[in-house]
Amino acid sequence: MNGLFEDGAFVPSEAVHVGVAISLRGGGLIAPAIHDVDRMAVGDVMAALRDLVNRTRGGRLKASEMSDPTITVSNLGEQGVESVYAVIYPPQVALVGFGAIVERPWVVDGRVEPRSVLRATLSADHRVSDGHRGARFLAAIDRLLQEPEKR
User: What residues are labeled active site?
Assistant: 126, 130
Candidates 100, 97, 79, 78; CA nearest to 88 is 97
Candidates 8, 4, 7; CA nearest to 19 is 4
Where are any strands of DSSP class E within 13-144? 18-20, 22-23, 29-30, 33-34, 71-75, 94-98, 102-108, 111-117, 120-124
Quickly count: other Cβ atoms within 10 Å of residue 35's Cβ: 17
